[in-house]
Chain A
Amino acid sequence: GAVVSQHPSWVICKSGTSVKIECRSLDFQATTMFWYRQFPKQSLMLMATSNEGSKATYEQGVEKDKFLINHASLTLSTLTVTSAHPEDSSFYICSARELLGGGGANVLTFGAGSRLTVL
């Protein structure tokens, strides 16, 4: 089945530094990837939709300059948290959409998530 690899799984950084999280589709091409943020014991909050070869579409309230998204190839999207602060500490999850053949439903395949802790 489809696999999405997310790296790193856990990162600790100092306040003011930037952190890059990678999301790769390992055995399929993903023209669209999604980035979510999840606070403890809460649901997923969609941050942005990453489209290969074009600018990401951000959800309302998400700072574009804080959360930089790049989708340079059909198998890789990156999220960079710039000038991270403690309030950016969270669990970030990416997903990629795989279109199933025969008119089947799109299925979202998720990465394992990246836990960011900003000191």
Chain B
Amino acid sequence: GDSVTQMEGPVTLSEEAFLTINCTYTATGYPSLFWYVQYPGEGLQLLLKATKADDKGSNKGFEATYRKETTSFHLEKGSVQVSDSAVYFCALSGQNTGNQFYFGTGTSLTVIP
């Protein structure tokens, strides 16, 4: 079945470091891909999305490109800030999943000053 595999954490970076969180997926058809962020004690917020191959989602300095050839949707940011400390979830959804969302296990990021 459809699934998402996400890089395990926790990840600890110094401020202004480069961030990559890997995400690969398995799906039939062409799902939409998402990154959600969860700040401590809060629900999830949509960070960015991409609906088709080669699409690049971006928001708040974060980017992810839908790579069909490698079935990946890695999250990147060039210079992280302390305020980026959160848990990041990769997810997919599509017609073949009955529009259900499948989430990765989440990657905890801590950015230290």
Chain A residues near B (Cβ < 8 Å): 4, 6, 34, 41-44, 46, 49, 93, 95, 97, 104-113, 115
Contact = CB atoms under 8 A, between A and B. Distances in A.
B46 A107 contact: yes
A105 to B, nearest CB: 4
Contacts of A112: 42-43
Interface stretch (B18-26, B77-85, B98-106): B98-106
B57 to A, nearest CB: 10
A41 B8 CA distance: 12
B108 interface: yes
B93 interface: yes
Contacts, number: 54
Given A6-B43, A105-B32, A113-B42, A43 B49 contact: no
A110 B101 contact: no
Interface in B32-83: 32, 34, 36, 41-46, 49, 51
Contacts of B41: 113, 115
Given A34-B101, A106-B99, A108-B91, 7 more contacts: A4-B43, A6-B43, A107-B34, A108-B44, A110-B36, A113-B41, A113-B42
A44 B51 contact: no
B89 A43 contact: yes
B106 A42 contact: yes
A74 B40 CA distance: 29
